[in-house]
Each structure stands twice: as C-alpha cells, then as structure tokens.
Amino acid sequence: MSQDETVSTRKRRGPKPTGKGVMVGVRLQPDQLAALDAWIATRSQLVTRPEAIRRLVMAKVRATLDSGD
C-alpha cells in the first residue's frame, strides 16, 4: 500500500459498546410499556427505559432476597 492510500473505516451508529454485561432483549406489551413510562415519569431524574428496567429488576431481586422467598 502506498503512502497516498488511506484505509477508511466504517463508522458505527450509537455509543461505543462497553463489552460488559449480557444483552437481554425484552418485548413489552403496550400496557406494560405504558406502566414503565408512567414509573419513569415519577422519577425526579429522567432515566432511560433500559435503566428503568434494570432498576426495577434489581429492586425486586433485593426485596425477594430480603424477605427470604
């Protein structure tokens, strides 16, 4: 390859992947999505849907572990 040639890389959309964690895809029905959006609206700080799902899952897991179920 001569010095005049350059290699162009194709840019990816979105943020750079962190490579951490496992991707879990979830389909929500319209009523479930509306409930999630309503929960998000009650937060003092705006959170994304994925972050809201993570927080709700962890809250339920902690509550289950604390109650001994």
Which range marks the domain in which residue 42 is found? 30-67
Report if residue 40 sits inside a domain: yes
DSSP annotation of 43 reads: S
| pLDDT for the residue 33 | 97
Report if residue 7 sits inside a domain: no
| pLDDT for the residue 11 | 76
Report if residue 58 sits inside a domain: yes
| pLDDT for the residue 2 | 59
The ranges of the chain with pLDDT < 70 are: 1-4, 69
Report if residue 16 sits inside a domain: no
Report if residue 5 sits inside a domain: no
Report if residue 11 sits inside a domain: no
Q: Is 19 helix (H, G, I), strand (E, B) or coil?
A: coil
| pLDDT for the residue 1 | 55
| pLDDT for the residue 64 | 93
- For the chain, the domain total comes to 1
**Burial class of residue 7 in the structure, from the number of CB atoms within 10 Å of its CB (0-12 exposed, 13-18 middle, 19+ buried):** exposed
| pLDDT for the residue 40 | 96
Report if residue 4 sits inside a domain: no
With contact defined as beta carbons under 8 Å apart, do 36 and 52 qualify?
yes
| pLDDT for the residue 15 | 72
